[in-house]
Structure 1
Amino acid sequence: MQEAQHEQGPGAGDVVVIGVDPHKASVTLEARDTREILRATGTFPTTAAGHRAMLSVARQWPRRVWAVEGARGVGRALVARLVAGGERVIDVPAKLSARSRVFDTGQGRKTDSHDAHAIVMVALRDKRLREVVIDEDLEVLRLLVDRRDELAAARTQALNRAHRLFAEVTPGGAPTKKSIAQYQALLVGIRPRDGAGKVRRRMLAEELTQAHRLDVRVKELTAEIKAAVLARGSHLMDLPGIGPAGAGRILADVGDVARFPTRHHFASWTGTAPIDASSGAHQRHRLSRAGNRRLNHILHIAATVQMRHAGTLGKAYYDGKRAAGKRPLEAMRCLKRRLSDVVYRQLVKDAVNLDTATTGAGPGGHGGATVQSSAAGLPPHTGTSDQPLPGPATTTLAPTPSARQVPITTG
């Protein structure tokens, strides 16, 4: 463990911001007060002893705030321990710290000390950062959804292996991939005589048994996720194409929807908002590959479901875009962008209802919250757009105490 190096400076009562660059095996920190005077630097292992040593350094400043990069990623475990211990933690997006590092050094070289310095400087200068608050219900939901995704992927792998083995033991091969029950019915009629064929059949039986066991567990987790989503008062599953797993993933990854000021911010985060690539008089937009790809996939599945079922608003919207001259992929992207707005409005509506139920607010909800449009509406009168509009946008959900911005002041 590298001992922290202390720097003496005036203002012992100042608020000290501790910038932390977390890794799996170690964390590097740099502490500065509100006048940006260096107070300490150091690197600590991610062990129980290392965590205690890091806290002993931090406790010399009674007024302290932790700034952690990747609080929802690699720093999740560290943030959970800090918050559980009563510490104040703010989340510093990796993009902001990367920009700060480039501006500070003139190049993008990465070291742990440079990263910690960039993190603390962003925390001191950016007033829009939000304090991390652990929501136990969402944390449980995230664990359930992650586990279901892992088991579903393992089930798919088992079925893929079974399909490969069927292609080797069946004359002409297995033409298409089938369900577990269909594979089990095919297996009954396979009676190989050679030694290799008998081994393949035994392996097929093992793969199908494993796939069946995983399928049962996936269904149990899906039911558990559905109960958790309903218990939270969410109506995301009312939207066509979004099931329990999709709704659980949206709630777990979004967290507090108040961190997205507008639907345009939400669409940018989900990767459904096109990127402006205009130049001069030539106006064009290109597909965004950024954003949360898991939520982008969920919106893609919802768009596909609505597009394939007549009578849904999504199908009518897609057909309208095709009639307007859009190519199939372009119309699909427009539909995903519109569904992003629909999901955002439903999240806002659920958050207002939940806050009203817990705080006893009036039926109008928070000031600034929009509850006029239907959460399932796709027609133009609901106020959505295929791409973000230029200029500032108004806030659609008032910040709540669980997701407040953190002022770092000396007062």
Structure 2
Amino acid sequence: MILIGVDPHKSSHTAVAVDIAGHQVAQRRFVVNAGTFRQLMRWCEQWPDRRFAVEGAGGLGRSLAQQLAAAGGNVVDVPSTLSARARLLATGGDRKTDAKDALHVAQVALFRHDLRPVVPEDQTTILRLLTERRDDLVHERTRVLNRLHAVLRDLLPGGAPTGLSADKAAALMKGVRPVTATDNCRRDIARDLLADLRRLDRQVKGNESEMREAVAATRTTLTTLPGLGTVLAAKVLGHIGDVGRFPTEHHFASYTGSAPLDASSGNNVRHRLNTGGNRALNSVLHTIAVCQIRDGGRGQDSSARSVRGRPLRRPAGPSSDACPTWSTGS
């Protein structure tokens, strides 16, 4: 069997073939154009029994990895962090070329059997695209709304109230009577911002409608869980894809960054907050937990057990001996 590692870039892809012992057999650089995939497959025909390893199959290597998967190829995704570690451990140290990067990608895939296989894009990819587009629209709407609020602050006595919306801003602007040329300019800018705000509101609603249809097409039951609406369900499905790629719930917790990191040393056993993992999914889990703690659900029961199970401790300080008050550990 031959394993072909690919180091993808915007303008070129470098492929290196290695045997089962990890020794380089051949290499070739392909210029990225309409015929790149066809040229790669023609070059690989000399090895009928082959596998592919693409670095960053969710980033720069997405297009090539998807073409290989659609053609029935056996493709795995090699994270750039793993190939970088392999490069550091190589004889050449930290020397970096495209060919060496492709070689290390192939060697990582050869000896690591837990890499994520690349599958053809499906409905979950559509959901991820829609949720990312919604995040962009919401961020842009927030920026426009803040700017409109700042302009109205200078146009209206006392400024605009909080909780501003397009309809409220339009009602406030009806009473604006500019006196100076500067105020006339502010009013014109406010009108442009109001038009932008209405456009973004329409786009957000349209995006959520598409998202609702896409979630319904998956026939998922996630939306029946407390605290999990259409948007959050779309994010979960879009980022996870096939949940079967996680062997256990512990692997899933590690992937989302919700599992604490072991920072023990010697007899000192401790854990610290995990700031890594998929932060988008981490945010979704936090929102679900907050909603269930507030409105009821498994999250509320789990939180109650966690609070009851916390050990009691004395407050630190010189007055702790004189003060009999006890508090729960935070």
Judge same fold: TM > 0.5, yes or no: yes
Instruction: Establish whether residue 153 from structure 1 lines up as the match of residue 122 from structure 2.
Output: no
Distance 2:141 2:71 in 1: 39
Cα 1:175–1:324, aligned 2, differ >3 Å: closer, same or farther?
A: farther
CA distance, structure 2, for counterparts of residue 66 and residue 92 of structure 1: 10
Separation (CA, whole Å) in 2 of partners of 1:315 and 1:229: 26
- Kindly tell me: are residues 194 and 109 of structure 1, through their superposed partners in 2, closer, same or farther at Cα, counting changes over 3 Å? farther
User: Is 1:314 paired with 2:293?
Assistant: no
Pairs aligned (count): 312
Name the larger-Rg structure: 2
Q: Which moved more, 1:24-33 or 1:51-60?
A: 51-60
Structural mapping, 1:118-197, within 5 Å? 118-174=104-160, 176-197=162-183
- Are the equivalent residues in 1 in contact too, given 2:6–2:105 (CA < 8 A)? yes
Cα offsets for 1:336-388 (capped at 9, x unmatched)? xxxxxxxxxxxxxxxxxxxxxxxxxxxxxxxxxxxxxxxxxxxxxxxxxxxxx
Q: How does 1:263-302 map to 2 (within 5 A)?
A: 263-302=249-288
Shift of 1:130: 4.0
- Counterpart Cα distance in 1 of 2:187 and 2:296: 46
1:295 Cα deviation (Å)? 0.7
Amino acid at match of 1:270: T
For the 8 Å contact 1:17–1:124, the answer to whether it is kept is yes
How far residue 267 of structure 1 moved from its aligned partner, in angstroms, is 0.6
Q: Equivalences for 1:344-359 in 2 at 5 Å? A: none
Query: Counterparts of 1:4-403 in structure 2 under 5 Å?
Result: 15-105=1-91, 107-174=93-160, 176-307=162-293, 309-325=294-310
* C-alpha separation in 2, matches of 1:144 and 1:324: 41
Q: Aligned equivalents of 1:163 and 1:326: distance in 2?
A: 47
Per the TM alignment, residue 82 of structure 1 is displaced from its structure 2 partner at its CA by 2.0
1:175 deviation in Å?
A: 5.1
Distance 1:49 1:304, change over 3 A: same
Cα RMSD (Å): 2.4
Tell me how far apart the structure 1 counterparts of residues 177 and 303 of structure 2 sit (CA, whole Å). Answer: 50
Higher relative contact order (CA 8 A, sep 6+): 1
Segment of structure 1 superposing worse, 41-50 or 242-251 = 41-50
CA distance in 2, matches of 1:130, 1:312: 33
Shift of 1:197: 1.4
* Ranges in structure 2 where 5+ consecutive residues have no aligned partner: 313-330
Within 1, Cα distance between the matches of 2:290 and 2:174?
36
SS at 1:48 equivalent = coil
| 1:311 Cα deviation after fit | 3.5
Aligned-pair distance for 1:272?
0.6
Percent identical pairs in the alignment equals 44
Q: Distance in 2 between matches of 1:143 and 1:310?
A: 30
Quote the Cα distance in structure 2 between the aligned partners of 1:163 and 1:190: 14
Ranges in structure 1 where 5+ consecutive residues have no aligned partner: 1-14, 328-411
CA distance in 2, matches of 1:317, 1:133: 36
Query: CA separation in 1, counterparts of 2:174 and 2:95?
Result: 61
Shift of the 214–321 alpha-carbon distance from structure 1 to 2, 3 Å rule, reads same
Cα distance in structure 1, aligned partners of 2:292 and 2:168: 28
CA contact (8 A) 1:162 1:204 kept: yes
Q: Alignment partner of 2:118: what SS?
A: coil
Cα deviation for residue 42 of structure 1 reads 2.6
Distance verdict in 2 for CA 1:278–1:231, change over 3 Å: same
The 1:317–1:276 alpha-carbon spacing in structure 2 relative to 1, beyond 3 Å, is same
Looking at structure 2, the residues matched to 181 and 312 of structure 1 have their Cα atoms a distance apart, in angstroms, of 36
Paired residue secondary structure (1:306): helix
Give the distance between the partners of 2:92 and 2:109, measured in 1 at CA: 20
Structure 1 letter corresponding to 2:232? G
Aligned partners of 1:21, 1:322: CA distance in 2, in Å?
A: 49
Aligned residues of 1:138 and 1:251 also touching (Cα < 8 A): yes
SS of match in other structure, 2:90? helix
Distance 2:114 2:183 in 1: 64
Q: Classify 1:324/1:165 alpha carbon distance in 2 versus 1 (closer, same or farther; 3 Å).
A: farther
Give the conservation status (yes or no) of the 8 Å contact 2:24–2:103.
no
Q: Distance in 1 between matches of 2:273 and 2:59?
A: 25
Q: Which amino acid aligns with 2:299?
A: G
| Paired amino acid for 1:60 | Q
Paired with 1:107 and 1:182, the residues of 2 have a C-alpha distance of 62
**Contact 2:18 2:103 (8 Å CA) reproduced:** no
Residue identity in the other structure for 2:144 = A
Q: Secondary structure at the match of 1:190?
A: coil
Q: Which amino acid aligns with 1:318?
A: S
